[in-house]
Amino acid sequence: MRSLVQERRRGAIEDTLILVEHPAIVTIGVEGDDGSAAGAGLPVVAVERGGHATYHGPGQLVGYPIVDLEPRGRDVRRFVRDVESVVARAIAPLGVTGAHLAGQPGLWIDGRRKIASIGIAVDHWVTFHGFALNVDVDLTAFERIRPCGMDGRVMTSLARELGRPVGLDELRPGIRAAWAAVFGGSAPDGPDRRVARPELLAG
């Protein structure tokens, strides 16, 4: 991710989306956490993104957009809304409606259940970090911490909303199409990627 940020700054690559599925881990953003992460019984890593602590694990699709904001007017708020739009478009064909909730970055169901988290960082107007969409993830892991400073029980997943198992492969085509629609360019199909092996989408 960091090497791609440098390449994007140099103009060596176009805007790119990394898709990855992480092993179980808690990350803590620059706003820190309330100490709950230490008792989660999981590896904990401090990262550069905004926000507090959150959980990543199998069954969660994590996207890292590497986007140059210079031609987009250096508008970070608009970029976050665009990322939310990518996720919302991707889950809509499954019959799940996600929406922005004022003052709460991420994607929400009925304004009460959070299905995707967003935390970004910006280096010389190039973005990194990004979104985490709960597809069919162990939601009890969120209850061991306070994700984004909230009660972990607020978190939901596509599997919970639909009442059936959902594979990450069901979401990848929708994410590609939504990425192309919102950020332009192409988002070609890539090879199947599993835990900790990134899939790159350029466009």
Dist CA 68 CA 131 (whole Å): 17
Largest alpha-carbon pair distance within the chain?
46
Nearest to 42 by CA among 178, 142, 150: 142
Helix (H, G, I), strand (E, B) or coil at 128: strand
69: left (phi over 0), alpha (psi -120 to 50) or beta: alpha
Options 148, 155, 171, 178, the catalytic residue: 148
Dist CA 175 CA 187 (whole Å): 9
Nearest to 87 by CA among 28, 148, 135, 145: 135
Dist CA 4 CA 103 (whole Å): 30
| Active-site residue flag, 148 | yes
Question: Residue 101: enclosing H or E segment and its boundaries?
Answer: strand 99-101
Nearest to 26 by CA among 47, 2, 1: 47
User: Between the CA of residue 175 and those of 49, 73, 83, 101, 134, what are the distances in Å?
Assistant: 21, 24, 10, 21, 13
- Positions marked catalytic: 148
